[in-house]
Amino acid sequence: MKVFTNNISGISTLSVLFLIAFVALLFLIPKFVTSTYALHIMILIFISVITGSAWNILGGYTGQYSVGHAAYFGVGAYTTMILLQYRHIAPWYGVWAGAVVALATGLAIGSICFRLRGPYFVLASIAVAEIFRVTALNLNNLTNGAEGILITEVPPLRIGNTVITDFLSKVPFYYTGLVMALAVIAVTWLVQNSKLGYYFQAIREDQDAAHSLGINLTLYKNAALAISAFFTSLAGSLYALYVGFIDPGTVLALDLSVQIVITAIIGGIGTVLGPAIGAVVLVPFSEALRSNMIAQALIDSGLVKEDSALGTFLKDQLSHAHVLIYGILLVVVILFMPDGVLGFVKKLVAKKRKEVS
């Protein structure tokens, strides 16, 4: 194995090749997967990868546990949708406008909330996101309040008069999501392997020590937040365009903020790929629970009889219990895999290697 290792960042040539192959595979999937449901799940995974990874830069690397990331998601989603619906500005401009608004929002929030530390910061981040939700709920002229904004179609992307893609099927959304997800992961890698990454982690480990070592806390916390808010808002815009409908209860909800944090925690915070793994684990899992797939599978496999008490119970109730099961999963991960799924796998591999040698 030594042959394959180059010393830059300790990444072996073999794993780079593997990564390239995997990414190539992801790009090829829509060519041979025709199931719209499978593509739908993949798009949801990509959105979750983007939000989880974006949160990770602020929460995982810099240690500022924001539980208000729905604010940036929602600001992105609303900016894009409002511009499209009421001003007829195409999303490819709206998305960037949303990102800029989210970034500015982030810096405004940061300048207030970053004075607070630990649990107080967490509470402030929740409060600020709730302010955004309630504001969106009541600013009827701009956001259409609780009714939300519904679009019937996404205009095609064209350069000049050439239509690049029409956004009628799921495939263009798949590629958009994939590219954004890869971008945020690449940015995370770049951050980790730069001065920024060192400073972010120093702030996470001990703010006072970091301060005394010449780190401008306000500057670097806001830098982390800026990157984080930017990508979270991109995910929000993508979600809005993909689903075609937003309202304060979905894109600005506390639920969403919590979901974003959980994805990162379950995958492994403070790692480049952790949140992506969290998304890959969680999105299909929660979809399966919600859509009664698990109950159906248990019945189909003959493990549980459909007309038995347990069978009817599972069929009727399991889909309602997905939040509960989610909670249990989180507890299990925190208890038995404190470094997330990725940390757990790494530990297993290290153990295996030790046994072999």
Supply the minimum distance, in Å, between the C-beta of residue 192 and other proteins. Answer: 11
Q: Return the number of the residue (117 or 320) whose C-beta is nearest other proteins.
A: 117
> Does residue 193 belong to the site contacting other proteins (CB under 8 A)?
yes
Q: Which stretch binds other proteins (CB under 8 A): 23-31, 42-50, 143-151, 206-214?
A: 206-214
> Does residue 217 belong to the site contacting other proteins (CB under 8 A)?
yes
- Opening angle at CA 197, ends 337 and 269, nearest 5: 15
Q: Return the number of the residue (206 or 300) whose C-beta is nearest other proteins.
A: 206
> Which residues does 79 contact at the CB level (< 8 Å), separation at least 6?
94, 97, 98, 101, 102, 233, 237
Identity (one letter) of the amino acid at 168? Answer: L
> Which residues does 53 contact at the CB level (< 8 Å), separation at least 6?
181, 184, 185, 188, 231, 264, 275, 276
Residue 339: C-alpha distances to residues 77, 249, 291 (Å): 31, 31, 30
Given 211, 347, 351, 352, the residue binding other proteins (CB under 8 A): 211
The number of beta carbons lying within 10 Å of the beta carbon of residue 70 is 31
Structure tokens at 189: 């890698």
Give the burial class of 312: count Cβ atoms within 10 A of its Cβ; 0-12 exposed, 13-18 middle, 19 or more buried: middle
> Does residue 208 belong to the site contacting other proteins (CB under 8 A)?
yes
The radius of gyration of the chain from alpha carbons, rounded to an integer in Å, stands at: 21
> Does residue 205 belong to the site contacting other proteins (CB under 8 A)?
yes
Q: Which stretch binds other proteins (CB under 8 A): 12-20, 212-220, 224-232, 273-281?
A: 212-220
Q: What is the enclosing helix (H) or strand (E) of 148?
A: none
What is the dihedral sign for C-alpha 129, 132, 138, 142? negative
Supply the minimum distance, in Å, between the C-beta of residue 175 and other proteins. Answer: 34
Given 15, 140, 216, 317, the residue binding other proteins (CB under 8 A): 216
Binding string, residues 46-75; x marks residues near other proteins by CB under 8 A: ------------------------------
Supply the minimum distance, in Å, between the C-beta of residue 162 and other proteins. Answer: 42
Q: Return the number of the residue (210 or 298) whose C-beta is nearest other proteins.
A: 210
> Does residue 115 belong to the site contacting other proteins (CB under 8 A)?
no
Q: Characterize 30-65 residue by residue with b for buried, 16 or more Cβ atoms within 10 angstroms of its Cβ, and e for exposed.
A: beeeeeeeebeebbbbbbbbbbbbbbbbbbbbbbbb
Q: How many residues bind other proteins (CB under 8 A)?
A: 21
Q: Return the number of the residue (9 or 34) whose C-beta is nearest other proteins.
A: 9
Q: Which stretch binds other proteins (CB under 8 A): 92-100, 141-149, 201-209, 342-350?
A: 201-209
Q: Return the number of the residue (8 or 25) whose C-beta is nearest other proteins.
A: 8
Q: Return the number of the residue (12 or 201) whose C-beta is nearest other proteins.
A: 201
Q: Return the number of the residue (49 or 272) whose C-beta is nearest other proteins.
A: 272
User: Residue 5 has what DSSP assignment?
Assistant: B
Q: What is the enclosing helix (H) or strand (E) of 245?
A: strand 245-246
Q: Return the number of the residue (210 or 281) whose C-beta is nearest other proteins.
A: 210
Q: How far apart are CA 46 and CA 171, in angstroms?
A: 13
Of residues 258-277, those binding other proteins (CB under 8 A): 270
> Does residue 213 belong to the site contacting other proteins (CB under 8 A)?
yes
Q: Return the number of the residue (61 or 230) whose C-beta is nearest other proteins.
A: 61
The binding site for other proteins (CB under 8 A) comprises 193-195, 198-199, 201-202, 204-206, 208-217, 270
